[in-house]
Amino acid sequence: MPPTPDTPAAPDTLATPDTPDAPTWPAEFAERYRAAGWWRGETFGQMLRERATAHPDRIAIVDPATERRWTYGELDARADRLAAGMAARGIAPGDRVVVQLPNIAEFFEVVFALFRIGALPVFALPAHRETEISYFCRFTEAAAYVIAAEHGGYDYRALAATVRADVPTLRHVWVAQGDPGDFESLADVPAEPVDLPGPAPHDLAFLQLSGGSTGVPKLIPRTHDDYLYSLWGSNEICGVDEHSVYLCVLPAAHNFPLSSPGTLGALYAGARVVLCPRPGPETAFPLIERERVTLTGIVPPLALLWTEAAATTEYDLSSLDVLLVGGAKFSEEAARRVRPTLGCTLQQVFGMAEGLVNYTRLDDPEETIVTTQGRPISPDDEIRVVDDEDNDLPVGATGHLLTRGPYTIRGYWRAPEHNARSFTADGFYRTGDIVRLTDTGHLVVEGRAKDQINRGGEKIAAEEVENHLLAHPAVHDANVVGEPDPYLGERTCAYVILRPGVEPPKAVAVKRFVRERGLAAYKVPDRVEFVDAFPQTGVGKISKKDLRSAAANTAQDHPRP
Ligand code: OOB
């Protein structure tokens, strides 16, 4: 066994010091969470080492696209060797490394190598393009960027070349799969393991992306202590143990498949992770049969597809015990179809990368499972449902959800102005969700106050897309809203006022313009409508509420092609 790179928390490091980059839990909260046993004082590096020592030959990761099966011992050794090679190339504790990988085994090798160093993965999604990646690299002053050469017909090396030319801090681009072109292959980085001091449990582990409602995404700083709690807390609720097999269907970097209970929860339990290269039933169902998958997590539009396909599938899905559905509201009718068609228990998940995760419990009555979005992981998750003036509302009333707890952040990374708005003075996170609490303590999501569109689980900040539309020379003003979609739940509609006297562009040209600005495809408006004016509120502000109902009416008249 190579030397242990992580040192346990020294007794004098028990506070969670505010980092210069983000506020963290006040000492009395940190003490409480430790005393309650939520924060166990471990790091991801130690966690993997312990599992690898206990059962080195057990399979940890199955990558069906390349027919690789890595044991815990192998994953651990790979993480050590990659950490040594990255450290030799100057990656130091606290450095940020943007990781943009599809669902391939290297994702875990890279992430655990960075955890061992104490460098922070910044979790980009494969759908992100130049606009997003340049921003993440620049804003985090990233030292490195990890990609696959190609995925889904897209060449990430071209993207990396542009970004590297743009961002002076970016010293390395590593290509984890495929021809590295002008960059270094990740396979050439590993070196003989070295003794690395490693992070402390209260240190930051990584930066996750917020769905956001502002012009640019905010970064979410998660610590080893707090994230590990969300993993084992989820495992207990979702029944994950060493016999579980978790199928990772959604992009691995997203908080839901990462931690609810996700791939990292499965690894925490000493279970097996199977990577699903594409989310459709034609890829997932054969893998469920072959690998005897016991649980997985998907978004509502996929759940619709899966339940439809399950009715006529030839594949044996009988190993599947639990289907987690979350990321967006799952309709009651669709929820009712899960057990009869897939033969497993539905678990609704209402979570957020900022922290709080709610689950329906496996032994909840069926009515609770299909009509609520669950209740929090922790007895120390504090939930407030408030009116517009932050007054607490009685149980059963609908209002804004505020939350605070042992795995909910106290502030975004390097964003003091946002933090003043997104958190109360006493540290509650303003989720932007409109909810109702039932008398059993379950939450029902009733809507959203934040200016965001939830397109089948993919979050789009209206302001971000509006800014891109405003860059079009013919556009005078733009407003982006969500409109109902039978499959996605919501899709985007952009209302645009054109400049007088210009040649009016076609709607498709406006969409193309947005796409060509290097934005993730899911953010390109589904529909663009030209108008002469926007509806206004009584005080003369633009009424997004009226735009939303106008969009809903049109959507009803013109269903999706
Ligand atoms: C998950 O995380 P994010 O950060 O992409 O998005 C969080 C937001 C929530 O604030 C809420 O607006 C929405 O997504 N949401 C749901 C929902 N689950 C998430 N809205 C209605 N019903 C649900 N079940 O999406 C996420 C993170 C961890 C686990 C699961 C989902």
Shortest CA distance to 101 belongs to which of 38, 33, 150, 52?
150
Out of 234, 346, 350, mutate this one to test ligand 1's pocket (max ligand atoms within 8 Å of CB): namely 350
Q: For a pLDDT cut of 90, what percent of the chain falls above it? A: 94
Please give the mean pLDDT across all residues of the chain. Answer: 95
Note the pLDDT tens digit of each residue in 253-273: 999 999 999 999 999 999 999
Residue 379, preceding bond cis, omega within 30 degrees?
no
Backbone torsions φ then ψ of 331, nearest 5 degrees: -70, 150
Instruction: Check residue 418 and give its pLDDT.
Output: 95
Amino acid symbol at 508: V
Confidence at residue 213, expressed as pLDDT on a 0 to 100 scale: 85
Q: How far is the CA of 350 from the centre of ligand 1 (A)?
A: 5
The ligand 1 atom at the shortest distance from the C-alpha of residue 452 is: 12
Average pLDDT value for residue range 413-433: 97
Give the pLDDT mean for 423-428. 98
Q: In the numeric block, which tokens belong to residue 31? A: 């003490």
**Protein residue whose Cα sits closest to atom 20 of ligand 1:** 328
Per residue in 127-159, pLDDT (tens digit) is: 999 999 999 999 999 999 999 999 999 999 999
Single out the residue of 70, 49, 55, 42 nearest to residue 4, CA to CA.
Answer: 49
Distance, in Å, from the CA atom of 156 to the CA atom of 150, rounded to the nearest integer, reads 6
* Average pLDDT value for residue range 177-195: 98
CATH topology assigned to domain 36-58+66-240: Rossmann fold (3.40.50)
Digit-coded pLDDT (tens) for 466-491: 999 999 999 999 999 999 999 999 99
Per-residue model confidence (pLDDT) at position 411: 97
- Residue of the nearest CA to atom 7 in ligand 1? 352
CA of 230 to the centre of ligand 1 (A): 15
Name the closest-CA residue to atom 2, ligand 1.
352
Supply the pLDDT for residue 16: 62
**What's residue 554's pLDDT?**
87
Distance set, CA 312 to CA 100, 200, 282, 296, 316 (Å)? 35, 51, 12, 20, 11
**Alpha-helix residue ranges (DSSP H) falling in 184-254:** 224-238
Q: What pLDDT is attached to residue 534?
A: 97
Top mutation candidate among 123, 234, 255, 352 for ligand 1, by most atoms within 8 Å of CB: 352
Q: Inform me whether the pLDDT recorded for 161 exceeds 90.
A: yes
Ligand 1 centroid to residue 157 C-alpha, Å = 31
Q: How far is the CA of 134 from the centre of ligand 1 (A)?
A: 25
**Could you report the per-residue pLDDT of 371-405, keeping only the tens digit for each?**
999 999 999 999 999 999 999 999 999 999 999 99
Q: What is the pLDDT of residues 283-325, one digit of tens each?
A: 999 999 999 999 999 999 999 999 999 999 999 999 999 999 9
Pocket (CB within 6 angstroms of ligand 1): 211, 255-256, 260, 326-329, 348-353, 357, 373, 431, 433, 445, 448, 454, 459
Kindly state the DSSP code that residue 536 receives in the 8-state scheme.
Answer: B
Give the per-residue pLDDT at 17: 62
Say how many Å lie between the CA of residue 167 and the centre of ligand 1: 31
Asked if residue 18 has pLDDT above 70, the reply is no
47-53: average pLDDT: 98
- Classify residue 473 by burial, with Cβ atoms within 10 Å: 0-12, 13-18, 19+: exposed
pLDDT tens per residue across span 433-457:
999 999 999 999 999 999 999 999 9
pLDDT of residue 2: 46
pLDDT for position 5: 46
Closest by CA to 479, choosing from 495, 497, 461, 493, is 495
CA atoms of 272 and 108, how far apart (whole Å): 13
Ligand 1 centre distance from Cα of residue 326 (Å): 6
Cα of 357 from ligand 1 centre, angstroms: 8
pLDDT for 560: 60
Task: List Cα–Cα distances, 538 to 376, 398, 541, 552, in angstroms.
Answer: 39, 24, 7, 22
Distance CA 209, CA 541 (A): 30
* pLDDT band with cut points at 50, 70 and 90 for residue 211: confident
Residue with CA closest to ligand 1 atom 5: 211
The closest residue, in CA terms, to atom 25 on ligand 1 is 327
Output the pLDDT for position 9.
43
The confidence band for 215, taking pLDDT boundaries of 50, 70 and 90, is: confident
Distance from the alpha carbon of residue 330 to the mean position of ligand 1, in angstroms: 11
- Statement: residue 417 has pLDDT above 80: yes
Residue whose pair of structure tokens reads 């469920």 in the numeric block: 288
Q: What is the pLDDT of residue 212?
A: 82
- Closest ligand 1 atom to residue 354 Cα is 4
CA of 352 to the centre of ligand 1 (A): 5
Ligand 1 center–CA 359 separation, angstroms: 11
- 223, pLDDT greater than 60: yes
CATH of 452-557, one of 3.40.50.410, 3.30.43.10, 3.30.300.30, 3.40.1170.60: 3.30.300.30
pLDDT band with cut points at 50, 70 and 90 for residue 19: confident
Looking from the CA of residue 374, the nearest atom of ligand 1 is 24
User: What are the structural domain ranges in the chain?
Assistant: 36-58+66-240, 452-557
For 59, residues 6+ apart whose C-beta sits below 8 A from its C-beta are: 69, 70, 71, 72, 272
- The answer to whether the 36-58+66-240 and 452-557 domains have the same CATH topology is no
Atom of ligand 1 at shortest distance to CA of 254? 5
Tell me the CA–centroid distance for residue 79 and ligand 1, in Å: 30
